[in-house]
Structure 1
Amino acid sequence: MASSTPQAWRFPDLTTAIVVVILAVMPFLVPTTLASQVAIFATATLSVTLLLGSVGLLSFGQGLYLGFGAYLTGLLLRDAGLGLLPTLVLATTAGTVLAGLLGILMVRRQGVYFVMLTLAFAQMGYFAMLSLKDITGGENGLTDLPRTMSLAGLPIGSPLSFYLLTAGAFLLAFLAVQRLNASPFGSVLTAIRENEGRSEAMGYDVKRYKIAAVAIAGGIAGLAGGLHAAFLGFVPPNDIELEISQRILVMAIIGGVGSPAGALVGSVFYTLVSEALSELWARWMALIALLLIAIVLYLPGGLWSIGRRLAERFGGRSADA
């Protein structure tokens, strides 16, 4: 007799094994620098997957936390001389705190009003960056970051070493989100997504759970921003523009928000396809838009759902653990 309780999280499971395989083979299939970029944006996309997939919150503001983490990382590495590991920890913490504080205000509204608040705060962050040009560099970005760093005594300078760092960071974030989804906390988030009114009637403090989810997602985006700054050696102003929020949202939808693994699939697909199309046609974004429309209309579960359906059909079980 099947149990009605949520399936317990297991390590390793099929989803985790697939993610590990993708991360392991990627630097052999594409240039290592491109693989690092995929891992960084997959980490950022995880923040959208957590919010939209787990609790049903659509955010256009994740670029704010990514940019905040990137600028903080740049300043700490360049001006404070802090090591890479404590810098990334602080970028993650700062993203969590900022998202939590803004979340207190944003969760007061639902639906389109919540979405508009995320958009408004994202725009405020961008204009704040332009206004504080003595600190952020304004339209020129934050430059002169150190190119050679170390992590726990290990040098991080070569493309391969940096890919291992970004892939490891994504894997840790992925496992954390996967574990969170399988926990009682994740079950409450799912209940809120399915029926917020009923969850509140059952005694759950819905606003607090939403704030916690927003804060965790902000921390993940902050980590991605820190990795991006260290990877580039400078912080471009578009790290905090609205476009970056739109890009990671598109990656999440293409990959599928039903599983954290969709963040990696979406990042791989978007990054590699955009890289190839940009060489062929200057208006390549139009093709991405058409693809997004097709996925929303005919494959709402994203590309990851294809593998899940195949596993259900031929293996008798879902790949989404």
Structure 2
Amino acid sequence: MKNYFTLERVTALVIVVSCLGFVDFAGYYGQELIAEIAILAIFAMSLDLLVGYTGLVSLGHAAFLGIGAYATGILTVHMGWNVASSMAAGVIMAGLIAAIIGAFVVRLGGIFFIMITLALSQMFYAYFLKNREFGGDDGMPGIPRLDLEMFGLDASDPAIFAVFTVIVAALVFVLLDLIMNSPFGRYLLAIHQNENRMRSLGAPIGLYKLAIFIVAGMVAGLAGSMQAQHMGFVSPDAMFWTVSGIVLIMVIVGGTGTLVGAVVGAAVVRMMSHELSSLTEYWMMYMGLFFIGIVLFAGDGIYGTLAKYWHRARDPKAPQDLAK
């Protein structure tokens, strides 16, 4: 009988329930922080599809975040679209651009994939930086939030928007969990573990990689759209390569190849960066030391390492499947 209550799913459920229960007591700043972490979690899960499940390390993933954000901003501010339609358009646009880029880069690997995705991301950054019609380096303000009045809710209320972002992040987790536990997801894991063997068996490796690259781009586009709504603003900085680097650190800190690990990493890195920056001007140095410590002493990430010990404690003879 298949076990639907895996450690990863139960952990995700606990995180979602905890966030929803904490919203009422969090105050304005806490509610804003919950919304920000939920959006970062969506973005981190999208990158983990590439890094953890496919073995494609991208330093250009922020391009899709920015595409989703700018699509929402341009369509609402300049063209008068409603936010729901602009969100859908942002996700589709990010997917289309991911399909175009992916058609050329997914067959590459290692440093070549990293450098090309980095270069393409910087091209998008440079375009929006110089495009005065969309605000240039000043960015684009005035982006509205999704209209939730049909449910009797006001998205401008920080508590309501925080709950909304957590629910969306939970739905994204469920969708991606279904994908990665489907035959398609198992093919991807097999390709990641032994690409040469899968190629010798005649598997369409390039097609599978392209498909997950598109899915990752679309999810990142959704995160970008929600980030634009949360901030009411978007700037070219959303596409800068350091944004990709930061979310890559989040994925590694939480644990690659586990969707909930990406969520944990996003929460830990964001909360630590805020607390340390309020205590010392050398906060980045301490963040660097923390990251080095994770790599040296918890190579599977926070969640990945804890999951490994959990499974080992329950059944020392069982294979250590961190995703389960």
Structure 1 and Structure 2 fold alike (TM over 0.5): yes
1:245 aligned counterpart, secondary structure: helix
Match of 1:137 among 121, 132, 135: 135
1:199 aligned counterpart, secondary structure: helix
Distance 1:197 1:157 in 2: 51
Deviation at 1:237, TM superposition (A): 2.6
Q: Which letter maps to 2:299?
A: P
Structure 1 residues 152 and 259, CA, compared in 2 at 3 Å: closer, same or farther? farther
Q: Which letter maps to 1:320?
A: A
1:109 aligned counterpart, secondary structure: coil
Q: Which residue of 2 aligns with 1:219?
A: 218
Q: Which residue of 2 aligns with 1:200?
A: 199
Distance 2:96 2:257 in 1: 26
Q: Which residue of 2 aligns with 1:242?
A: 241
Structure 1 residues 8 and 105, CA, compared in 2 at 3 Å: closer, same or farther? farther
Q: Which residue of 2 aligns with 1:302?
A: 301
Distance 1:311 1:77 in 2: 47
Q: Which residue of 1 aligns with 2:55?
A: 56
Q: Which residue of 1 aligns with 2:16?
A: 23
% identity of equivalent residues: 32
2:58 aligned counterpart, secondary structure: coil
Q: Which letter maps to 1:25?
A: S
Distance 1:246 1:300 in 2: 18
Deviation at 1:91, TM superposition (A): 1.5
Distance 1:9 1:184 in 2: 17
Structure 2 gaps, min length 5: none
Contact 2:258 2:322 in 1 (8 A): no
Q: Which moved more, 1:14-23 or 1:53-62?
A: 14-23
Contact 1:311 1:319 in 2 (8 A): no
Q: Which moved more, 1:66-75 or 1:156-165?
A: 156-165
Distance 2:287 2:47 in 1: 19
Q: Which letter maps to 1:274?
A: S
Q: Which residue of 2 aligns with 1:102?
A: 101
Deviation at 1:206, TM superposition (A): 0.9
Deviation at 1:71, TM superposition (A): 0.6
Contact 2:299 2:305 in 1 (8 A): no
Structure 1 gaps, min length 5: 1-6
Deviation at 1:235, TM superposition (A): 0.7
Structure 1 residues 151 and 320, CA, compared in 2 at 3 Å: closer, same or farther? farther
Confirm whether residue 320 of structure 1 aligns to residue 323 of structure 2.
yes
Deviation at 1:299, TM superposition (A): 1.3
Q: Which residue of 2 aligns with 1:156?
A: 155
Distance 1:73 1:266 in 2: 27
Q: Which letter maps to 2:83?
A: L
Q: Which letter maps to 2:193?
A: E
Contact 2:49 2:257 in 1 (8 A): no
Q: Which residue of 1 aligns with 2:186?
A: 187
Q: Which letter maps to 1:18?
A: T
Distance 1:64 1:174 in 2: 21
Distance 1:155 1:87 in 2: 19
Q: Which residue of 2 aligns with 1:256?
A: 255
TM-score, normalization by structure 1: 0.91
Distance 2:294 2:193 in 1: 22
Contact 2:83 2:146 in 1 (8 A): no
2:76 aligned counterpart, secondary structure: helix
Deviation at 1:81, TM superposition (A): 3.0
Q: CA RMSD in A?
A: 2.0
1:90 aligned counterpart, secondary structure: helix
Q: Which residue of 1 aligns with 2:43?
A: 44
Structure 1 residues 249 and 151, CA, compared in 2 at 3 Å: closer, same or farther? farther
Q: Deviations for 1:174-232, whole angstroms, at most 9, x for unmatched residues?
A: 11221111111111111111111111111111111111111110011000000000000
Distance 1:308 1:176 in 2: 22
